[in-house]
């Protein structure tokens, strides 16, 4: 998901092919361990002026892991790009 307005934070050293080329990409790739009383996962991200793009991925393995652990071990794969600081 990308916002229609706003400019993504650039990264001159990112030579990835495709959409993320030249952008400052942050990745969250972790397994969240939930306590018995927890029901949801909250990933904290730091974007001073908001988010430009978010990509969330789920694989079959992730679904199976969640199923086998009664949703207490959840794989979180998020890629995001912040909005460029506007400096106005």
Partner 1 sequence: MATTKTHFVGQWDTFHNNGPFPTKILFETRLESKGNMPSLVDRYNDAAKEVQRLLQDSLNHNERFRAYGSAWSLSAIAHQKDRMHYNGLMNLKIPVTPNDLQAGSPYRADYLFFFECGNTIKEISEHVHRNGRAMKASGASNGQTIAGAISTGIHGSALDFGAVQDFVVGINIIIGPGPQDIVYLERDSKPALSAAFAQTIHSRVIRNDGLFQAALVSLGAFGFIHGVVIDTEDRYLLKRYTRRIKKEQALKLAETMDFANSDFKIATELDANGKGLRPYHYKVYINPYNPAEDYVTEIIYKKPYRQSYPDPIPTMKTAIYKDLPTWIAIFAAKHNRLIPKLIGAMKGIIFPALDTDIEGTIGEIFWDSTHRGPAFAVTMGVDHTQSRKALEVFLKLVNDEGPIPGAVALRFVKASQATLAFTRFPITCVLEMDGVLWKGNQNMISLEQFTRRIAEVFMAEGIRFTLHWGKNAAWNFPGLIDYMYGNKDDEWKEYRSALLSKPMADLFSNDFVQTIGLSDYRVNAPATLIASR
Summarize as ranges the residues that interact with partner 1 (CB under 8 A): 4-7, 10, 12-13, 15, 17-19, 21-22, 84-88
Q: Give min distance, CB of 27 to partner 1, in A.
A: 18
Nearest CB to partner 1, comparing residues 9 and 66: 9
Q: Give min distance, CB of 82 to partner 1, in A.
A: 12
Which residue pairs, CB below 8 angstroms and at least 24 apart, start in 47-50? Answer: 47/80, 47/82, 47/83, 48/82, 48/85, 49/6, 49/82, 49/83, 49/84, 49/85, 49/86, 50/3, 50/6, 50/82, 50/83
């Amino acid at each position: 998901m990308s916002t229609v307005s706003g400019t993504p934070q650039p990264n001159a050293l990112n030579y990835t092919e495709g959409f993320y080329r030249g952008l400052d990409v942050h990745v969250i790739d972790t397994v969240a361990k939930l306590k018995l009383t927890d029901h949801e996962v909250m990933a904290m991200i730091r974007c001073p002026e908001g988010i430009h793009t978010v990509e969330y991925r789920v694989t079959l393995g992730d679904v199976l892991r969640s199923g086998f652990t009664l949703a207490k071990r959840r794989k979180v794969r998020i890629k995001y790009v912040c909005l460029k600081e506007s400096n106005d």
